[in-house]
Amino acid sequence: MWTFITRRLLYMIPILFGVLLLTYVIFFTVNDPQSVARTKLGGVKASEAQVTEWLVVNGYAEYGPSGKKKKELAISGHGEPDEIMVKLTDIEMHSDVVLFWNYVKGLFTFNFGKDNEGREVSEILKEGVIPSLRLVLPGFIIAQLAAIFFALFAALYRNTKIDRTLLIASVLMMSISPVAIILFLQKFLANEWHYFPVCGYDDDLLNGIRFLALPTLIYVVVSLGSEIRFNRIVILDEIGQDYVRTARAKGVSQNSMLFKHVFRNSLIPFITHWVVALPFLYLGSLLLERFFAIPGLGDLTIRAVGNSDVNVIRALVFIGTVLYMFGTLMGDVLYALADPRIKLR
Amino acid sequence: MALVACMLDSCRRTSPVIVALLFVTLFTSVSCQPPLEVDGDVSVIRRATSTDPKTIDPHEAGDVLSSTMCGLAYDQLLEYVYFSQDAELKPCLAAKMPEVSPDALDYIFTIRDDIYFQDDECFPGGKGRKLVVQDIEYSFKRFATLVDSPGYWVLQGKIKDLDGWRSRVLALSSESDNSPETEKRRNEVFEQKVSGISILDDHRIRFTLTEPYPQFLYAITLSYGAIVPREAAQYYGDKFSENPVGTGPYKLREWRHDKHLIWDKNPTYREEYYPIVPEKLHLPAGMPTRESFLPYQGKRLPLSDRVVVQVLKEAQVSWFQFQSGHIDTSLLDKDTFTTAVQNQTKLTSGMAGKGIRLTYYPSPTISYLSFNMDDPVVGTPAGVKGAAIRKALSLSFDQADYIKRYLQGQGEPATMLIPPGVFGYNDSYQYRWARYAPEEGIRLLKDAGFIVEQKGGTVVTKDPKTGEQLQLLVVQAGQSTASADYARYLNFSGARIGIRVDSEQVTYSEYLKRQQNGIGQAYDSGWIMDYPDPQNMMQLLYGPNAKTINSSSYNSSRYNQLYEAMSSIDHTSPATSAADIQRKKDLVVEMHRVLDDDCPWLIQYFDKTYVLTHAWQNTTLPNHFAYNIYKYRYSDPRLRIDLAGDWNKADALPGILFACLVVTVIVMFVARIVRQE
């Protein structure tokens, strides 16, 4: 097993490098550094001198021969404003190799730099990850438990009207847009009937429950449709196996067969499903956080892309990739623990 | 199994109805809805914003929200007169209006002697010190050397020696080494005198300009002109943007990013009172009467004890919070407009019944389509044909219809570039192409030599050389519903005159790149005026500004000449004669006449803001250029509880039904297990 884990850990290095290279290429193909500077410096109002200075100060370029002369002239305190005013022609952009090195350096020591507004990215992540997890983690756990409950329910009533109704309800829930479900439940449960606050967040865990109750409920409702369908199929698939027939023939009771044998053997697909989803939970839920004013990381990625915020994007990509790779590794290890037939080599 | 057995047993003995009732009782008793926050007699202004402020560093605040937040904590040398009709300025940190030299190059400010910075740990003993004239010098120098600031354009090339000094400081800032020697050298250069900013004595400071800059006073009244203490900027360093320390009416207690900002009244704020309401206060349609301002006159500012700004990113949430009394005011958007307003000017009965007030007023924000004048099809190189396309397309755009269909009336058709209420606006002038006359547009295209085919209701305009239908590609920034609506309407307008108008939606940075490089035939554009001088709007078509703020790259020597003459007249100065003031107005119209010939823009509309306010909050006069009007706001805490106290009570019936459903499912599940057991 240890050989397997070491090999997988070593695989991670080229994968991580590849992902970072890909995001670098995509980011700087869409946004060249000059556009990033202009976006930051007030768009059309930014002057050429401002953009030039920004590019140099932020490590995208260095002064060329004419720029160095102007700089020396400026430092010496001589020269008219027109003579020392730098232009884009006075600088030389760094090569892609240098820019890529600037892009990745610091990541491995978790030094993510600052966002466009000057806040430390690690601070943003630290501040936002707790609210996101407080919303998503209970929602995820409840949704999985409820989905297992309903899947077992469907198995108990399989091939009856109840089973079919549940199936139709699941498909319906999958078909309705999450935004519609949020709008509907927020409007009625919070705004019309006043069972929950419309929005809000409290750092205090106990006081915060009232604010998180409705978004968690909606998270469960939104996830439930697909989860029930998935779990139902897995369980029904297991029910059709030979060992179940054998168990029945040996006189094992229906409940014992369902809860002891079928459920245990369904764990492998469930684990695969969970470990793939878990690493992304730290990013929270974009829609729920927006609609319930939860200060999490939900819309951080979208905002970073919109603002061409390179430091935030690279941090999120780095963390996401690392967590995903560790998640899949953990999944493989858990398979071996859940199923003695699986050997890790 | 013991638990299951226990459940089975209880199910046998208890009817599902009783279980349901127990569940309902539990459900309704733990209803999570909080009551309306009560603050006793503390007056709290509650408002919502759709984004987190980018910064509370006034020298970096380039957007409205950040500037508004800075306006709570900071002051400038001057401020806008609250009840002024003409965006008049008055002294704020200055003791009086500046003395201006006859050549309009020297501005001497005398600062007040009774201004203190807010108490903060950056000062010795945590006690805010008195404002000194060195703070003014430091603040302007700091602003000039912030490489990330989007605002240096307001001073660039304007103050003597400032640009050169700035280049010297920035040249050292870009040194890759941050060694103590470089740092020391940088500080030395920073401390060097700028000849354009000189301290005359303990209370007076002089700004020397490179050339007359009539907009100078407006420029330094922007957020960028805020006065900050050196101690705070140095103590907080990179965190200064989150720790404002100013002389303003409020002091930041907490900023939880993406959640809220809480501001408390600044206990050391200077003695300042709500101004006397002028006898002849001319209020535009949509504003309450003069009498509504009277109860506050003479009261100490700021009127409220606290300001709470919630970050609510979704408009629906903001709307719900307003309806339940958790926030005091709400801007109306397309979705909420029809719920709240009828006939454009009246509240619906539901809203009026809650005591809500509606106010509306035009904003100095124009939306327009700028044609790329360098483009071979629609620009100057195309000569008469290009002009015909631009003019015909303008004539095919029905401003009133667009405002009605897509903005729910929240706009004012633009008749010229200057918005109503701003100096230079002339209600007797009408931009020649800002009207709906598609037939005239078709005639113009025919006269220019295009082939216009009209079959039934379809019009197709073809280029006689290629025989192809004329096409125009508009570049838009961002992908929003509003921009998609606009693209659709442009396409619809173009179809009226046989031109196919397509739109390409790109990211903002790509949009800027296209403008800068002149890629694209037309750009979907807008402009929020920074200060109430027509120069701020007319500069958008000034030749030397091409490829930056002049997205059309329009360059007319006549227009440039008129612009230079117009922008050099200071209509706010007492020294300016009435004849010169009138001349400035005439020059604005004259510049429009040049545009009448060339039509570089398809001008559309000025924004119109609709605001709902709960009865417990007073009305404030709109001033889009002032960011410090929170001190004039008052929220009556008792009236709020009286009115909104009952708006948040839970409704039991739906909860009972829902609980019954849940219980039924559980009972069915358990029953099945029982049967199988």
- In the CATH scheme, what is the homologous superfamily, with its name and number, of domain B44-160+195-313+620-637? Periplasmic binding protein-like II (3.40.190.10)
Query: Does residue B506 sit in helix, strand or coil?
Result: strand
For B175, the closest chain A residue by CA position comes to A57
Average the pLDDT over B534-539 and give the result.
95
The pLDDT, as a whole number, for residue B29 is 46
| CB within 8 Å of B564: residues ≥ 6 apart | none
Of A176-185, A307-316, B6-15, B354-363, the least confident? B6-15
Confidence of residue B676 (pLDDT cuts 50, 70, 90): low
Of the partner residues A45, A53, A290, the one whose CB lies closest to the CB of residue B170: A53
Shortest CA gap B673–chain A (Å): 7
Domains delineated in chain A: 33-94 (no CATH), 121-338 (1.10.3720.10)
Q: Do A74 and B167 touch (CB under 8 A)?
A: yes
Contacts within 8 Å (CB) and 24+ apart, A266-272? A266/A231, A266/A234, A266/A235, A266/A238, A267/A338, A268/A335, A268/A338, A268/A339, A269/A230, A269/A234, A270/A144, A270/A148, A270/A231, A270/A234, A271/A331, A271/A334, A271/A335, A271/A338, A272/A331, A272/A335
As a whole number, the mean pLDDT across chain B is 88
The pLDDT, as a whole number, for residue B4 is 40
Shortest CA gap B458–chain A (Å): 38
What digits encode the pLDDT tens for the residues B123-138? Answer: 999 999 999 999 999 9
In B492-511, the residues whose Cβ lies within 8 Å of chain A are 507-510
Query: Does residue B381 sit in helix, strand or coil?
Result: helix
The pLDDT, as a whole number, for residue B677 is 58
Of the partner residues B32, B316, B317, the one whose CB lies closest to the CB of residue A213: B32
In degrees to the nearest 10, what's the CA dihedral of A237, A242, A243, A248? 100
> B365 pLDDT exceeds 60?
yes
Q: Can you state the angle between helices B180-191 and B162-173, rounded to 10 degrees?
A: 170
The pLDDT, as a whole number, for residue B281 is 82
Contacts of B668 in chain A (CB under 8 A): 153, 162
The pLDDT, as a whole number, for residue B174 is 60
What digits encode the pLDDT tens for the residues B421-455? Answer: 899 999 999 999 999 999 999 999 999 999 999 88
Three-point CA angle B645, B51, B648, nearest 5°: 15
Beta carbons of B359 and B287 less than 8 angstroms apart: yes
CA atoms of B367 and B579, how far apart (whole Å): 32
Task: Report the DSSP beta bridge partners of residue B252.
Answer: B263
Confidence of residue B35 (pLDDT cuts 50, 70, 90): low
> B14 pLDDT exceeds 60?
no
What digits encode the pLDDT tens for the residues B316-339? Answer: 899 999 999 999 999 888 778 888
Confidence of residue B12 (pLDDT cuts 50, 70, 90): very low
The pLDDT, as a whole number, for residue B655 is 77
Q: Tell me, what DSSP letter sits at residue A334? A: H
Q: Do B507 and A306 touch (CB under 8 A)?
A: yes
For B190, the closest chain A residue by CA position comes to A75
Model confidence, pTM: 0.85
For B324, the closest chain A residue by CA position comes to A191
Average the pLDDT over B466-474 and give the result.
93
Contacts of B191 in chain A (CB under 8 A): none
What digits encode the pLDDT tens for the residues B560-593? Answer: 999 999 999 999 888 889 999 999 999 999 999 9
How large a percentage of chain B has pLDDT more than 90? 63
Query: Is the model more confident about B503 or about A56?
Result: B503
pLDDT values of chain A reduced to their tens digit, one per residue, 345 residues: 788 888 888 888 899 889 988 888 888 777 788 888 887 777 777 778 888 888 888 888 888 888 888 877 777 767 776 777 788 888 888 888 888 888 888 787 778 888 887 788 998 998 888 999 999 999 999 999 999 888 888 888 888 888 888 889 899 888 999 899 999 999 988 888 888 899 999 988 888 898 999 999 999 999 999 999 999 999 888 888 888 889 888 888 877 888 778 888 888 888 888 887 877 787 778 889 999 999 988 888 888 877 778 888 888 888 888 888 888 888 888 877 777 777 766
Average the pLDDT over B215-227 and give the result.
95
CA atoms of A340 and A335, how far apart (whole Å): 8
Is B657 part of the contact surface with chain A (CB cutoff 8 Å)?
no
What burial letters (b/e) apply to B408-447, b meaning 16+ CB within 10 Å? Answer: bbbbbbbbbbbbbbbbbbeeeeebebbbbebebbbbbbee
Enumerate the domain spans of chain B: 44-160+195-313+620-637, 363-606
Q: Do A35 and B673 touch (CB under 8 A)?
A: no
Of A244-248, B124-128, B254-258, B530-534, the least confident? A244-248
Q: Do B324 and A198 touch (CB under 8 A)?
A: yes
The pLDDT, as a whole number, for residue B215 is 94
The pLDDT, as a whole number, for residue B436 is 95
Average the pLDDT over B383-407 and give the result.
94
- Answer yes or no: is the ipTM higher than 0.85: no
How far lies B159's CA from each of A57, A81, B85, B156, B252, in Å?
24, 11, 30, 7, 33
Query: Does residue A257 sit in helix, strand or coil?
Result: helix
CATH architecture of the region B363-606: Roll (3.10)
CA atoms of A293 and B310, how far apart (whole Å): 9
Q: Tell me, what DSSP letter sits at residue B275? A: P
Contacts of B549 in chain A (CB under 8 A): 44-45
| CB within 8 Å of A145: residues ≥ 6 apart | none
Confidence of residue B177 (pLDDT cuts 50, 70, 90): low
Q: Do B513 and A84 touch (CB under 8 A)?
A: no
- Domains B44-160+195-313+620-637 and B363-606 are alike in CATH topology: no
> B506 pLDDT exceeds 50?
yes
What is the interface size between A and B, counted as CB pairs within 8 Å? 199
